[in-house]
Amino acid sequence: MTLRTLLALMLGTLLLSGCAKGPGYDYGNFKESRPTSILVLPPVNHSPDIKAGASLQSQITYPLAESGYYVLPVAVTNETFRQNGVTEPTDIHALPIKKLHEIYGADTALYLDIKDYGTSYLVISSETVVTASARLVDLRTGKLLWEGSASASSAEQQSNSGGGLIGMLVVAVVNQIANTITDKGHEIAGITSVRLLSADMPNGILHGPYSPKSQTR
């Protein structure tokens, strides 16, 4: 992860923008469950970009680990699914929770859905947006512990450079090409993952047992 990306993540956290849910989230099931480990399932991708699922899933471990949880290695769990003939995220999400618990031994599973991922050209601007939602489910009881959604956009980092309408059109085209070539979506997905799954975000997941802030919410 580059320094620029880390700074963007820190800024996104401080701004508290794109937070998971509104005030008053009910953590009753979460506190009762007291999970320690999380199995991150491959995201179901509803965007046209085929890279979206792998991009987001590869960055989910960071905010979850920082929040105080043991996260099963993504590469290992994905390979286990593949060896058992299950490769489509929709099929994986449909697997019985008891089977997931039996195979992986994790307390919980994180179900991810990607709504938006990629760069779009909007006449006088171009914007890279990543929007995702998540559900944390107890694999021992089947109870929903937490759910939320978050979004991040490259427009948050852009400023109007002026130059009139023609200048804005040129900038939009240049930004779209640059963002596509450099896979700007991957960087923005990192910001989305922090906003979605950091315990320091309002109404985010609770701090886990390996966090010094555990049970402080």
Q: Tell me: the pLDDT tens digits for 28-54?
A: 999 999 999 999 999 999 999 999 999
- What is the mean predicted confidence (pLDDT) over 8-18? 47
Q: Give the pTM.
A: 0.78
| Residue 216 banded pLDDT, cuts 50, 70, 90 | low
Count of beta carbons in the 10 Å neighbourhood of residue 178: 13
Residue 174 has pLDDT above 50, yes or no: no
Among 91-100, 149-158, 159-168, 183-192, which stretch is predicted with the lowest mean pLDDT? 159-168
* Domain extents in the chain: 3-197
Among 19-28, 33-42, 166-175, 185-194, which stretch is predicted with the lowest mean pLDDT? 166-175
What is the CATH code of the structural domain delimited by 3-197? 3.40.50.10610
What is the overall mean pLDDT for the chain?
81
In this structure, the dihedral spanned by the alpha carbons of residues 101, 105, 107 and 108, taken in order and rounded to 10 degrees, is -60
Closest by CA position to 125, among listed 181, 184, 167: 167
Residue 195 has pLDDT above 60, yes or no: yes
Q: What Å distances lie between residue 174 and 15, 68, 79, 116, 155, CA to CA?
A: 28, 41, 38, 21, 14
Residue 200 has pLDDT above 50, yes or no: yes
3-state secondary structure the chain: CCHHHHHHHHHHHHHCCCCCCCCCCCCHHHHHHCCCEEEECCCEECCCCCCHHHHHHHHHHHHHHHCCCEECCHHHHHHHHHHCCCCCHHHHHCCCHHHHHHHHCCCEEEEEEEEEEEEEECCCCEEEEEEEEEEEEECCCCCEEEEEEEEEEHHHHCCCCCCHHHHHHHHHHHHHHHHHHCCHHHHHHHHHHHHHHCCCCCCCCCCCCCCCCCCCC
Residue 158 has pLDDT above 80, yes or no: no
Which tens digit of pLDDT belongs to each residue from 118-148?
876 654 456 889 999 999 999 999 999 999 9
User: Looking at the DSSP assignment, which residues form a beta bridge with residue 110?
Assistant: 40, 136
The pLDDT assigned to 80 comes to 95
Q: What Å distances lie between residue 30 and 36, 113, 115, 168, 203, CA to CA?
A: 11, 21, 25, 48, 12
